Every structure is written in structure tokens, then in C-alpha cells.
Amino acid sequence: MKKLAAHFRQYRFLLGELVKKGIKLKYRRSYLGIFWTMLEPLLNMIVLAVIFGPLFGYSSDKTFPVYILSGRLIYSLFAQGTKEATRSIRANAAMIKKVYVPQYLYPLSYVLYNYVIFLISLVVLVVVSLILGVFPGWNVLFVLVPLINSFLLTLGVSMILATVGVFFRDMEYLWNVLTTLIFYCCAIFYKIDRYADSKVVWILKLNPLYSCIDNFRSCVFNTEFNWNYALYSFCFSLVALAFGVLIFRKNQHKFILHI
């Protein structure tokens, strides 16, 4: 563990530069630049609220946009972070072939820069919440739990996908389809309490990302924090991270032959 910590400290500057590079490249050709980190989730929220508010009978609920936005932000972190990490090794093939850099830095940097963008976009959530009358309560003290859980989950899945993506390039396209399925299993634009008697609700409860979203919403709306969800998602994230690191380390010496 000490060796790993020393190794990480040695390359922390490079990691920081990779994170900065990722943020700059994401908005390189955009007129609005990093302002899109706040505008994009706001526009997505408006579209989903306009479409699904009347469809599911939430038109009279003025806090429904906050419900959508709080779920959408966590989901976007996971979807974007994992999607970009899938191609992280192949995208940096030129650098890998020329100079030695610990290869785990690439998927980690992709997850980190998406996490930074996610944290910036939380400003939109705060503003929209205050405007629509959703004020923080004592539950906001637990907000670090879902934030850390979502980061660990994204990183764990990203390490797995980064490894698989080197050998199976179609994984990037397959994962796009799977993230769409995950989106509908996260209760982004509908409320699970309306379907409590449905036989498919257990699918949502098995989704660790939904657990993160539900607890994040508990902090936003000051409702009961579900510690069972927190424990489940935390354990799932740690297992995914451990498995991801294991297969990444076992296969990283083969990456050069496939990029």
C-alpha cells in the first residue's frame, strides 16, 4: 500500500495535467466553453420535465424538475465517465508507445475530469432548488456518502471497461446501449413509490446507481436517508473497483500489442 501511495504521489502532477487536458478538450470547439457544464443539465431537465411531467401526472408538482435534475446529474457522471474511460487506453495510444506512464492514470483521469464537471454542474441544482422552493435540511450532512459512492462506482466500472475496451473495441458501442438501459432503470423521470406493487421494482433496487441517486435525492429533499442503499452501493462499488484494478493490472502489459 505504501508503494502504491508513493507511486501515486510521484505522478500526481501528470494526473492533474491529464484532468485539465480532458476538460479543455471537451469544450475546445464550443463558443460557450465550460458554461455548458451548467447549461446542458438545465436544458436536459427542462426537456424531461416538459415531456414526462404531464405524461406521469407531475405537472402540478413544482419540485419535479429538481427531482429530475438530481437524478440526471448522478447518472450523467456515471454514463459519461464510463463511456470515455472505455476508450481511454486506445485514445492515448501514441503517448503509451512513446513514453512510460502508469496506464491506470488514463481511465482515472477521464473519471476525475468528468467528476470535476459534475461538481461544477451542482451549482445548477442548488440554484434551481432554491428557486423552486426546495431548501436543504439536516440530511444534507450525508451528501458526501452518495457523492463518494457514485465516484467509486464509476471508477470501478471504468477500470473494467478500459481493460475490455482494448481487446474488444465494440465494447464502446455496446456500452452506449447498456447505459441507455441503465438510464431507464434509475427512476430519473418517474417516482418509484407509484410502482411499489409492481413485480419489476426489484430491478431498480438491485441497481447500485439507483441507490446512489435515491440517497442523493434524500439529501436534496431532506427525506429519510436509506442506509441499506448506501451500504449496498458502497459494497458493490468496492467489489467493482477491486475487480477492475485486478484485471487491469493483469492485462496492462498486453495493451501495447492491441492499440
| pLDDT tens-place string over residues 104-158 | 889 999 999 999 999 989 999 999 999 999 898 888 899 999 999 999 999 999 9
Query: Does residue 96 lie within any of the structural domains?
Result: yes
Q: What pTM does this model have?
A: 0.91
Mean pLDDT value of segment 209-226: 93
- Each residue of 220-252: b (16+ CB within 10 Å) or e? bbeeebeeebbebbbebbeebbeebbeebeebb
Side chain identity at residue 1, one-letter code: M
Task: Classify residue 124: in a domain, yes or no.
Answer: yes
Q: What is the pLDDT of residue 41?
A: 86
Tell me what the mean pLDDT of segment 222-230 comes to.
92
Whether 78 is covered by a domain: the verdict is yes
Residue 213 has pLDDT above 90, yes or no: yes
pLDDT one-digit tens code per residue, 74-93: 999 999 999 999 988 888 88
Residue 2 lies in a domain: no
DSSP 99: S
For residue 1, pLDDT beyond 60: no
Q: For residue 7, what pLDDT band results from cuts at 50, 70 and 90?
A: low
3, part of any domain: no
- As a whole number, mean pLDDT of residues 230-259 equals 91
Query: pLDDT band at residue 19, thresholds of 50, 70 and 90?
Result: confident
Q: What is the mean pLDDT of residues 68-75?
A: 94
Helix (H, G, I), strand (E, B) or coil at 132: coil
Quote the crossing angle between the two packed helices 105-131 and 12-26, to the nearest 10°.
60
Is 6 among the domain residues?
no
Continuous segment of H or E residues that includes residue 39: helix 36-55
Number of domains forming the structure of the chain = 1
Nearest to 114 by CA among 160, 174, 155, 61: 155
The three-class DSSP label of residue 179 is: helix
Examine the pLDDT at 6 and tell me if it is beyond 80: no
Asked whether residue 203 is domain-assigned, the answer is yes
Q: Which domain holds residue 38?
A: 11-257
